[in-house]
Structure 1
Amino acid sequence: MSQEKFTYNFSNVVVLGGGISGVGAALLASDRGYEVFLSNRDELDSAFAKALQTQNIPYETGTHSIDRILKASLIVKSPGIPDTAPLIVQVTEAGIPVISEIEFAASHTAETIVAVTGSNGKTTTTSLLGHVFQVAELDYTMGGNIGKSFAQQLVEGPAEHRLLEVSSFQLDGILNFKPHIAVLLNVTPDHLDRYDYKFENYIDSKMRIAMNQDENDFLVYNADDEAITSAIEKNKPKSTLVPFSMTRELEYGASLSNNTIKVAIDQTPFTMPIEQLSLKGQHNTANAMAAATTAKLLKIRKETIRQSMQSFQGVEHRLEQVLKINKVQYINDSKATNVNATFYALDSMEHPTVWIVGGVDKGNDYSQLFGLVNKHVKAIVCLGTDNSKIVNAFSGCVDQMVETNSMEDAVRVAYKLADAGDNVLLSPACASFDLFKNYEDRGRQFKDAVRGL
């Protein structure tokens, strides 16, 4: 599975894409004294443009100057640009290496990297680990797929530990990236439009997180996830395998016994009753297991881990309780951009629920939600430019289904459909790009609309 270390020619770096990762990569390239040029198809965010101007980094917007791009010795590609994009095909055929920003950044540090990936729960687990690191007073930064880019954080100064959330798109562009601890939470069908609609391609992408690890590194993984255990069997990573399981007790790793988490990886096991966790729900127990295991591998004190798990406040846009109006609880789960994330959300509903769903479909199979919709959902509010697939999937599950194409309308309709004691849940199961900039924009618009009721 491991590859030979690739040596880069950094003399002339071209960055494609001017978002958080692209601008971070450009700033790092400039900071290290390389010739750098950034090309972005759309207009740049004003703050990003100012950051580039301040460092005298040349850039273009609204076009890609192919002649200039083809002079690059190395191209750093933003994760949103697929490998199949004509420009990427052209530069690849020209023999220019194309890598991701996390790969570029990792080439410029020997600091300890802890990287978390998975189809669901990676932001919560990374944020929970960040809270543990903060309470433990470690010298660390947290970012990657959330917050600041890895490259931007290297520009800002050194740190002993780099805690990163990493996506499959970021992992697709690595050759040397080597986390000391890799955490693989789960793999369920997501982003299949980027992987030829083949689940195995997506699994292979996630497994790249362990591709360069050796026997001194650790892979913390979900032993209950058949896709992961099969991929580990197939790829045979060289790192020390540290499993966690919700379904069976493990002699080595983390498991659940009598509603108590037990992490047994050394002579002093960590234990904690799940009722003491600040985060509720089965999926969050699994996230807490992964985080506690990682913290133990880093030799963080048990009492510090326990204190952190009790005081963590959760993540914005992930089952975030917004307001209670007329005894109806409004819940923002905008970060649920795939079916599996929405499965967890619906499964945690304890009251009749008006469910707001929809957006850009990524090859979703909604059938796994039918049982939960029958059990918990009293009405569905569709929110998207094309709701036909959702309407077709769930029309037989609920009596009331309303189509909307703005957040304000969706919330107003949900308000009318909900009765005292109900929940209104935004858990879209889809990407946000049809009506919103991103899932954060979608979640904030939901909260603004709720506050405006």
Structure 2
Amino acid sequence: MSASSDKHMTLAGESDRAPVSLVILGGGESGVGAALLGKKKGCKVFVSDAGSLKDVYRKELDAAGIEWEEGGHDETRILSADEVVKSPGIPEKNELIKKIRAKGIPVISEIELAYRYKGDSKIIAITGSNGKTTTTSLIYHILKTAAVDAALVGNIGDSFAKCVAEDPKPVYVVEVSSFQLDDIQSFRPDIAVLTNITEDHLDRYDYNFENYIRSKFRITENQRAEDYFIYNADDKITTQYIDQFKINSKQLSFSMEQEKGAAFIKDGDMYVRTGDDFMTMSVYDFTLKGKHNQYNTMAGSLAAATMEIRKEKIREAVQTFQNLEHRMEHVATIRGVEFINDSKATNINSTWFALESMEKPTILILGGVDKGNDYNLLMDLVKEKVKAIVCLGLDNKKIHEAFEGVVPVIVDTTSAEDAVKTAFSYAEKGDVVLLSPGCASFDLFKNYEDRGTQFKRAVIDL
């Protein structure tokens, strides 16, 4: 554990010393979770958000007696903190972050804070440029099928820190981004999964692909000999760079191109081997279809096998798995156009992750109640992948300002039905219509579930 981490633990536990001053930058799901955990562990917590907080988060903070601010930052107070927990959405080039770094104040991510207090619980952590949400969800489903008491946390599910604070579990399945890994110190997954690495997020990594690659491999840096690192042997970037990192854990690879490693697919069958045990299963029994999902299924099955889950339970789970509702949920394919419901994406980070996973030309349905969104965060992905934007909201001015001249088509709509019909009119066979709004839903819908349900109904009615 690092020196700053030791200081945090020691001060927080000593009643005769002043409590550690812990500042949380960003009052979203992860930030509020970190605040609740910090408060529970005796820290003096202050939450600061440049945008506005959701009512539900304001109430949670108030109920816990945690001070907070929105619409700006009290720099004097922030720069007197002992430690800062930074939202993964805040880049290093942010002026306030530069000032915090210049003062030498330790900056950590929410997953680092949660790790410190997780006790003896096991961690399965999944990262990668594509497929991590599906792989994370599948691993969680396998554990639940096998009656393992686990929590789904991180970028998908609940805040890791909040779960540790309020409902601790013996196993945490954590989806982690490169941004979260950038600010770890001691975070150590028992099982680390790297799905793949593609050239992304370069604006956050000084347009240096190797910086991003190093960030992804940080998932292994604290692992020990008894831990596992599961990776895609067919991913050229992963295999090209893997030997440049000191990895102490047991390495297990999966492949569709070669019959070696811990898992592979041959003649339509998946083989999973860990130790002396092995299992086989036909890919035609997978509920997840497509080549990319065969990789995800191998990764998830391998992770479960290292947990000594019975192969019958792994098979059962792979045959019954469905993606979470409203989170990258396949709705239907109509005349060659795929419709995906990601209504749970209520912030720009979530939309960013959704777009990152798109492998076909995309018509993006975007908009709603803006919470101070910086649409520039999406710019590179939109340029690369989006052929049209359908705005679904009452005030779409910022979206137009951000993407006029970047995307050839930007259209306004005010209902799910209109949005779906409009998106379909611009789609061609082989395209994807992605509802990933990046905004709250309260201008036109009761909540994100209502928005997703109306979207699905409109697709089915086409």
**What is the TM-score when the length of structure 1 is the normalising length?**
0.82
Deviations 1:333-359, CA, capped at 9 Å, x for gaps: 64685766221x56xxxxxxxx51487
Distance in 1 (CA, whole Å) between partners of 2:213 and 2:413 is 34
Check conservation: 1:382, 1:410, Cα contact below 8 A: no
Q: CA deviation at 1:407?
A: 7.2
Query: What is residue 249 of structure 2 aligned with on the other side?
Result: 239
Query: What is residue 404 of structure 1 aligned with on the other side?
Result: 411
Deviations 1:128-170, CA, capped at 9 Å, x for gaps: 1111010111121111111211100011233211110001111
Check conservation: 1:323, 1:451, Cα contact below 8 A: no
In the alignment, is residue 144 of structure 1 matched against residue 154 of structure 2?
yes
Within a 5 Å distance, the mapping from 1:17-416 to structure 2 comes to 17-110=26-119, 111-250=121-260, 252-316=261-325, 320-322=329-331, 331-332=339-340, 334=342, 337=353, 341-343=357-359, 345=360, 356-357=363-364, 360=375, 361-364=378-381, 381-383=388-390, 385=400, 386=403, 388-391=405-408, 402-406=409-413, 408=415, 410-416=419-425
Deviations 1:259-314, CA, capped at 9 Å, x for gaps: 11111122121111100001100011000000000001010000000000000112
Check conservation: 2:83, 2:106, Cα contact below 8 A: yes
SS state at 1:7 partner: helix
> Structure 1 stretches of 5 or more lacking a match?
347-354, 374-379, 392-401
Distance in 2 (CA, whole Å) between partners of 1:299 and 1:156 is 28
Q: For residue 301 of structure 2, what is the amino acid of its counterpart?
A: A
Q: CA deviation at 1:316?
A: 3.7
Distance in 1 (CA, whole Å) between partners of 2:283 and 2:31 is 40
Query: What is residue 394 of structure 1 aligned with on the other side?
Result: none
In the alignment, is residue 426 of structure 1 matched against residue 433 of structure 2?
yes
Query: What is residue 7 of structure 1 aligned with on the other side?
Result: 6
Distance in 1 (CA, whole Å) between partners of 2:308 and 2:194 is 20
Q: CA deviation at 1:80?
A: 1.0
* Range moving further from structure 2, 215-224 or 381-390: 381-390
Q: CA deviation at 1:17?
A: 0.9
Q: CA deviation at 1:233?
A: 1.1
Query: What is residue 371 of structure 2 aligned with on the other side?
Result: none
Distance in 2 (CA, whole Å) between partners of 1:135 and 1:338 is 26
Q: CA deviation at 1:258?
A: 1.0
Check conservation: 1:243, 1:254, Cα contact below 8 A: yes
Query: What is residue 16 of structure 1 aligned with on the other side?
Result: 25
Q: For residue 339 of structure 2, what is the amino acid of its counterpart?
A: I
Q: CA deviation at 1:447?
A: 5.7
Distance in 2 (CA, whole Å) between partners of 1:415 and 1:284 is 25
Check conservation: 1:207, 1:231, Cα contact below 8 A: no
> Structure 2 stretches of 5 or more lacking a match?
13-19, 343-350, 367-374, 391-398
Distance in 2 (CA, whole Å) between partners of 1:404 and 1:166 is 34
Query: What is residue 352 of structure 1 aligned with on the other side?
Result: none
SS state at 2:331 partner: strand
Q: For residue 135 of structure 1, what is the amino acid of its counterpart?
A: T
- C-alpha spacing 1:416/1:62, structure 2 compared with 1 (3 Å): closer
Distance in 2 (CA, whole Å) between partners of 1:45 and 1:172 is 26
- C-alpha spacing 1:96/1:5, structure 2 compared with 1 (3 Å): closer
- C-alpha spacing 1:418/1:193, structure 2 compared with 1 (3 Å): closer
**What is the TM-score when the length of structure 2 is the normalising length?**
0.81
Q: Matched residue pairs, number? A: 414
Check conservation: 2:423, 2:433, Cα contact below 8 A: no
